[in-house]
Structure 1
Amino acid sequence: MRKLRFFILLAVLIAVVPCLEFLGALSGVDTYLYDTFLRLRGERSVSQRIVIVAIDAASLDALGRWPLPRRYYAEMLERLDQAAVVGFDLLLMEPDKDDILLGEAIRKHGRVILAEYLEGASTILEPLAGLSPLRTGHIHVEPGTDHVTRGMFHSIYCNGRLLPSLTSVINETVFRRQFRRTLPQDTVSGAPIQQRDFCKINFYGPPGSFNQVSLADVVRGGVPPSYFRDKIVLVGVTVPGVVDGISTPFSQSRTRMSGVEVHAAILNNLMENSMISDLPGWCWTGALIASSLGLALVFLRLSERNTLLAWCASQFLVLAGAFLLLTFSNRWLPPAAFLVSFTMVFAMVYLYRLDRAVCRLDREYEIMTSLLGRNAGESDDQGRPRGIFGFISLGGVNEKIRRQARMTSRLLRLHRQLEIALKNEREALDNQIRFVEMLSHEYRTPLAIIRANLDILEMRDNDPGERFSAYYAKMKRAISRLVEVMDTSLGRERMEETTAAMKREEIGLMDFLQGLLDEARGLWTERCLQLELENGGGGCRVQADGALLKTALLNLIDNAIKYSPGSTPVRVVLGISGATAVVSVHNSGAVIAPADLERVFEKYYRGRDSANTQGAGLGLYLVRKIVEQLGGTVILSSSAPTGTCATVRIPLS
């Protein structure tokens, strides 16, 4: 539920980012990256068909001060008679003594496009009526809020009248194809001017990218008329100070571009259909939401360090993707929205993890408080904010840290008290073990004396009917039983005392078992004990404490002898299974009930069928304890007619 709420909140915040983009809150970052990407892309080749006749400083030096007499434009048009079209980036709206001469030259050429300009809200500045151009077009470019020109509207409607751009008119005239214009809205309250068909300018480089010739050279015949055959000629001022230069994305070094060269770039875009267009809003918005949510899922699966690396990679991929899209497809993806959204996702995932961590601390704090209690004067935390909001609340995490410091002091005091109690308990246990050892020693001496005297009495018994032999045997069994109980109890106490005292050594199990069975045959002379090998068991070696391993296996052999008929052999089988040595002790005695198979390893537990058999219920418990300390396992299986099998598995060396 917490994660679901997190994703709902995250989706809402992600949806806010496109709104910020549409409102222009991120436009500053986008325009900066747009300009940077264009400069990184570098210069591109321009159409050799476009030629600029520049009114440059050399023209003013040779032909006179600005504004130049219009007869020079007429002479220029006579020399440009082979040009496909001539476009003027000049406003010829004031009368001049040479207007008749210029008008005749325009009519004679027949392919001259003059500029018009929209001043204010409704005033259209048009060329003089007597000039009679083929068509006219506006020369408005669209500077941004930072005064950098990145695009223009090719269609402006002023009170319903269309003012096409100069470059779109030239393109229509040369290639005889109609520019597809967006129609104005029928009614726009209080908006006499409507701008349509905006296109971003795909600049080809810094100023000077297009072919330029000086007006003075053209007028004086320095450029042959054949040079302009089938060329598209743009005429404009390039002298700094006469007209204001236009800032472009390539103006980082404050080198502004003349208006006529900006129009040359726009015309080149129209000729090649290489204008830069924005990706549709629905397209990049959908990609933004989907990629942001997907990135959140990725962040949640990564560690903190890898999440940071993934965030850095996402920022790089956004920038690289926007740059490649602009360079190779002339499409603009606003990267700021993606950068902000991915950063916000990173921050939200970080806060989500921090909130979860603080909640875990809150739970641990509650557990400690419930275990240790509260100090006098401390109130409970009911109603206080949990999680990350606890940072900014009274009695939040900082207060809990101070409380936990006090709890830590209490825990240290309790720890010291427990250490003292454990030390006392250990001393009591040591005293108990020493007492048992002392008691065992004190019992063994009189028992040995009793046993020896019983043997002497039995040897000197001359009763032909052996009436006392049965009594001697009972007394010997009672003494053996008492010694067995003491040995088992003492062995258990030593086993539970410590596991660190084990003396491990490498043991060859075949020789070890052979010696063990030889010793066992001396104890149980009336029984048949067999050693069998299988699966290459003759060469297996283990790391174990020989004394403890001997105790465990003798207990298993003792049980097999107790619970099997005297006429049946007890088989000890040695084998290898994988990386473990397997020692199995088989007998053919009574079957152990399934309910008793697991419980027989419990301390002091004796099965229902062992009431008439000697034992204290500690043998198998001791066996399991020893085998587990050696890193092995012991299991017991019993079924008819195979009998009972105790299997010990110990890791090989």
Structure 2
Amino acid sequence: MKKIRFFMLLAMLVAFVATIEGLGLLAGIDAYFYDHFFRLRGSRETSDRVVVVAIDADSLAAFGRWPLPRHRYAALLDRLEHAAVVSFDLLLTEPSADDQQLAAAIRRHGSVILAGHLEQGGGLVEPSALFSPRGIAHVHVEPGVDHVVRELFHSIYRKGVLIPSLSSAVYEADRGRPIPRAAFSGDRDGLVQQDQHRINYYGPAGAFTTVSLVDVLEGRHSPDFFRDRLVLVGVTAPGIVDQVATPFSQLRTRMPGVELHATALNNLLDAGALRDVGQWFETTSLLVFSLLLARLFLAMREQQALLAWCASLILLPSASLALFVAGRWLPPAAFLVSGSAMFAAVYLRRLNTAVRRLDREYAAMVTLLGRGIGGEAGEVRENGGLLSLLSERGINEKIRRQSIMTARLVAMHKKLEALLKTERETLDNQIRFVEMLSHEYRTPLAIIRANLDILELRDTEAPRPFTAYYDKMKRAVSRLTEIMDISLRAERMDGSDNRMQQRHLELTGFVRLLFEESCALWTERTLYLELPEKGEVVIFADAALFKTVLLNLVDNAIKHSPPDEAVSIALQVGTGAAAISVCNRRPCIPAEELERVFDKYYRGRSSANIQGAGLGLYLVRKIVEQQGGTVQLSSSAEVGTRATVTMPLLRTDGEATAPGRHTSS
């Protein structure tokens, strides 16, 4: 849901970019790319049908000062008798002595277009009524705010009457059919411009075939040179007429107006005018592109997103340039601004998420370590986000408090390392002590065992009344030796030195042997054994350590019950696990002590007069858990106290049946 809201926000941001583009706020950037695309594309070939007759400096030097007498234009029309159409980019509005001569020449040629001029108030200044040209056209162009001419309008309506552009009038006179024009829409009493034409320049000034007026009149070009050509007559002499700036004017080569109209005419001939891609297509493309780019930024890391954004700043103008070369104009500024806005929005979203996470982590640290860190006293805002960066101290405050926290954690880390070092040294000393104790006990135990063997051999009196005592004492000595070995291994396991020797252990026979050994060790007590009547139960365990577990449980059950109470050992097999339980009848352990009895060195209230160190059940739980099992203790006045060890099964052969009962007393 948050991501949907975020993308809706991005769509609104794209709409805002489209709006400011529609208001013209990005026109300067688009104009920059537009002009540079012309220079990158370079010059193109022009039509050999279009010829400019230039009233240049040589013509003025030969025929006198401007304006030239109009009989010169009459003579020119006679020399251009074979031209398809002749147009004048000259305003022949004022009467002169040579008008009759020029009017006759215009009638003789029959395909002459004259120019009219739109005044500031919208009025049209037409050529002299004496002339009867084939058509009258406007020579108005639309310079941009930077005075560069990039477009003109082929149709200007004055009080509902069409005034075609000079280039479109020449084209229609040549082809004999009108160009496609949009239906008139607007105020019939005003001035309306329609049929916008983006001028697709062919190069800087001088791209078209140009001949001097003096050369034509003096016969340096034969009349056949102009056969079937479209001739535009205009002034190119510097200082007489304003020349216009074009996208190629970075070379300071401004273009005469007559050549500008020749360019527009050539665009009509080769259908090479630049066409807009269309507002609907541009807006849809902008939205789709922006959202896809935002989705790409979200899927990337920050560095990758930065590289992708930089790549988009190169690829977008490149794509626009490719369309430009193909004759389509797609303004790139909105795409660049929108793409940059997507990158900024995604980055700010990630920054906001990071700041919120930083605040939450800091709040958690304050909760764990205390609020008095580095003099901090105020309440921690967990969800400040980016707005918290606008506070009085902003990001510097967050950095400061995190630095304090980091210093505190480093100090605690060093302290913990020192404590762990002390703990390891203590543990090593403990293990060395147990190893020494084990070594020192072995010698006297070996002496006791050897002397017991000697006493047993010397007991020759029939019926050998002390044999049972000898056997019991030898078992006790063996058990003491075994306990010392197990204790040493348990200490090493406590130091994360896992020395368990696990193997497949058949549990039924193992429990039976342990029961027999318990009966021999505690001959004065009554023990019961319950086993499945048939079936092999296999677990994965260290036999010596597992034996220590069960003997500890039996020993605890015997020590914590009256001498006349029996202790039972039971093996039960369930689905995927085997449970061995040791149970006595009384006394009952309080509920608050049931879990604490597994703690190291803990002894309950009922153990005050019972010998022990509080390590037995601690070792039981540690050994069982390290071998993948669990141990639980339950106690109640009705049932007694039961310790249950549960181990995962490897396999069972045969089905578990009702348990058989074995008794020793």
Residue 488 of structure 1: aligned partner = 486
The answer as to whether partners of 1:564 and 1:589 remain within 8 angstroms in 2 is: no
Residue 259 of structure 1: aligned partner = 257
Distance across 1 between alignment mates of 2:410 and 2:315:
52
Residue 380 of structure 2: aligned partner = 381
Matched, 1:639 2:652: yes
Distance across 2 between alignment mates of 1:420 and 1:56:
98
The answer as to whether partners of 1:200 and 1:277 remain within 8 angstroms in 2 is: yes
Question: Aligned runs of 1:224-373 on 2, under 5 Å?
Answer: 224-328=222-326, 330-373=327-370
Question: Aligned runs of 1:218-617 on 2, under 5 Å?
Answer: 218-328=216-326, 330-375=327-372, 378-382=377-381, 386-394=384-392, 396-497=394-495, 499=497, 548=499, 552=501, 562=510, 591-592=536-537, 604=549, 608-609=570-571
Distance across 2 between alignment mates of 1:564 and 1:620:
22
Distance across 2 between alignment mates of 1:222 and 1:590:
126
Distance across 2 between alignment mates of 1:455 and 1:377:
76
Distance across 2 between alignment mates of 1:72 and 1:589:
134
Distance across 2 between alignment mates of 1:143 and 1:186:
23
Q: Residue deviations 1:373-397, cap 9 Å, x none?
A: 2236712035x86112211113644
Residue 541 of structure 1: aligned partner = none
Residue 215 of structure 1: aligned partner = 213
Q: What is the Cα deviation at residue 419 of structure 1?
A: 4.2
The answer as to whether partners of 1:88 and 1:234 remain within 8 angstroms in 2 is: yes
Distance across 2 between alignment mates of 1:155 and 1:453:
132
Where does structure 2 lack aligned partners over 5 or more consecutive residues? 515-532, 554-568, 572-579, 583-615, 629-646, 657-665
**Identity %, equivalent residues:** 50
Where does structure 1 lack aligned partners over 5 or more consecutive residues? 503-547, 567-587, 628-633, 644-653
Distance across 1 between alignment mates of 2:134 and 2:5:
66
Q: What is the Cα deviation at residue 592 of structure 1?
A: 4.2
Could you tell me which amino acid in structure 2 is paired with residue 184 of structure 1?
F
- The 3-state SS of whatever aligns with 1:197 is strand
Q: Cα distance 1:621–1:590, how it changes in 2: closer, same or farther (>3 A)?
A: farther
The answer as to whether partners of 1:103 and 1:131 remain within 8 angstroms in 2 is: yes
Distance across 1 between alignment mates of 2:513 and 2:495:
37
Residue 179 of structure 2: aligned partner = 179
Q: What is the Cα deviation at residue 360 of structure 1?
A: 1.3
TM-score, length of structure 1 as denominator length? 0.78
Residue 36 of structure 2: aligned partner = 36
Could you tell me which amino acid in structure 2 is paired with residue 6 of structure 1?
F
- The 3-state SS of whatever aligns with 1:68 is coil
Q: Residue deviations 1:168-226, cap 9 Å, x none?
A: 111111111212222333547xx721111111001111111111111111111111111
Q: What is the Cα deviation at residue 135 of structure 1?
A: 1.0
Could you tell me which amino acid in structure 2 is paired with residue 206 of structure 1?
P
Q: Cα distance 1:273–1:110, how it changes in 2: closer, same or farther (>3 A)?
A: same
Distance across 2 between alignment mates of 1:257 and 1:395:
59
Distance across 1 between alignment mates of 2:94 and 2:9:
63
Q: Residue deviations 1:27-60, cap 9 Å, x none?
A: 0010110010011111111111111111111111
Distance across 2 between alignment mates of 1:556 and 1:161:
108
Distance across 2 between alignment mates of 1:211 and 1:262:
13
Q: Cα distance 1:557–1:596, how it changes in 2: closer, same or farther (>3 A)?
A: closer
The answer as to whether partners of 1:246 and 1:256 remain within 8 angstroms in 2 is: yes
Question: Aligned runs of 1:123-162 on 2, under 5 Å?
Answer: 123-162=123-162
Distance across 2 between alignment mates of 1:396 and 1:251:
50
Distance across 2 between alignment mates of 1:146 and 1:184:
30
The answer as to whether partners of 1:20 and 1:26 remain within 8 angstroms in 2 is: yes
The answer as to whether partners of 1:601 and 1:620 remain within 8 angstroms in 2 is: no
Q: Cα distance 1:322–1:400, how it changes in 2: closer, same or farther (>3 A)?
A: closer
The answer as to whether partners of 1:86 and 1:111 remain within 8 angstroms in 2 is: yes
Q: What is the Cα deviation at residue 272 of structure 1?
A: 1.4
Q: Cα distance 1:195–1:428, how it changes in 2: closer, same or farther (>3 A)?
A: same
Q: What is the Cα deviation at residue 138 of structure 1?
A: 0.6
The answer as to whether partners of 2:85 and 2:231 remain within 8 angstroms in 1 is: yes
- The 3-state SS of whatever aligns with 2:150 is strand
The answer as to whether partners of 1:107 and 1:132 remain within 8 angstroms in 2 is: yes
The answer as to whether partners of 1:565 and 1:589 remain within 8 angstroms in 2 is: no
The answer as to whether partners of 1:84 and 1:229 remain within 8 angstroms in 2 is: yes
The answer as to whether partners of 2:52 and 2:233 remain within 8 angstroms in 1 is: yes
Distance across 1 between alignment mates of 2:105 and 2:363:
96
Greater shift in the superposed pair: 303-312 or 430-439: 430-439
- The 3-state SS of whatever aligns with 1:552 is coil
- The 3-state SS of whatever aligns with 1:131 is coil
The answer as to whether partners of 1:156 and 1:162 remain within 8 angstroms in 2 is: yes
The answer as to whether partners of 2:504 and 2:539 remain within 8 angstroms in 1 is: no
Distance across 2 between alignment mates of 1:332 and 1:98:
47
Q: What is the Cα deviation at residue 157 of structure 1?
A: 1.3
Could you tell me which amino acid in structure 1 is paired with residue 159 of structure 2?
N
Greater shift in the superposed pair: 167-176 or 418-427: 418-427
Distance across 2 between alignment mates of 1:225 and 1:602:
126
Q: What is the Cα deviation at residue 560 of structure 1?
A: 9.4
Residue 573 of structure 1: aligned partner = none
Figure out how many residues of one structure are paired with residues of the other and give that number. 558
Q: Cα distance 1:488–1:254, how it changes in 2: closer, same or farther (>3 A)?
A: same
- The 3-state SS of whatever aligns with 1:130 is coil
The answer as to whether partners of 1:365 and 1:400 remain within 8 angstroms in 2 is: no
The answer as to whether partners of 2:86 and 2:232 remain within 8 angstroms in 1 is: yes
Q: Cα distance 1:179–1:564, how it changes in 2: closer, same or farther (>3 A)?
A: same
- The 3-state SS of whatever aligns with 2:249 is coil
Distance across 2 between alignment mates of 1:638 and 1:467:
46
Q: Cα distance 1:50–1:346, how it changes in 2: closer, same or farther (>3 A)?
A: same
Q: Cα distance 1:469–1:589, how it changes in 2: closer, same or farther (>3 A)?
A: farther
Q: Cα distance 1:559–1:459, how it changes in 2: closer, same or farther (>3 A)?
A: farther
Distance across 1 between alignment mates of 2:159 and 2:139:
18
Distance across 2 between alignment mates of 1:256 and 1:65:
23
- The 3-state SS of whatever aligns with 2:211 is strand
- The 3-state SS of whatever aligns with 1:252 is helix
Residue 4 of structure 2: aligned partner = 4
Residue 19 of structure 2: aligned partner = 19
Could you tell me which amino acid in structure 1 is paired with residue 48 of structure 2?
Q
The answer as to whether partners of 2:89 and 2:234 remain within 8 angstroms in 1 is: yes
The answer as to whether partners of 2:86 and 2:111 remain within 8 angstroms in 1 is: yes
Distance across 1 between alignment mates of 2:546 and 2:316:
67
Distance across 2 between alignment mates of 1:377 and 1:560:
64
Could you tell me which amino acid in structure 2 is paired with residue 343 of structure 1?
S
The answer as to whether partners of 2:549 and 2:624 remain within 8 angstroms in 1 is: no
The answer as to whether partners of 1:55 and 1:215 remain within 8 angstroms in 2 is: yes
Distance across 2 between alignment mates of 1:371 and 1:143:
70
Distance across 2 between alignment mates of 1:16 and 1:561:
83
Q: Cα distance 1:151–1:395, how it changes in 2: closer, same or farther (>3 A)?
A: closer
Distance across 1 between alignment mates of 2:6 and 2:548:
54
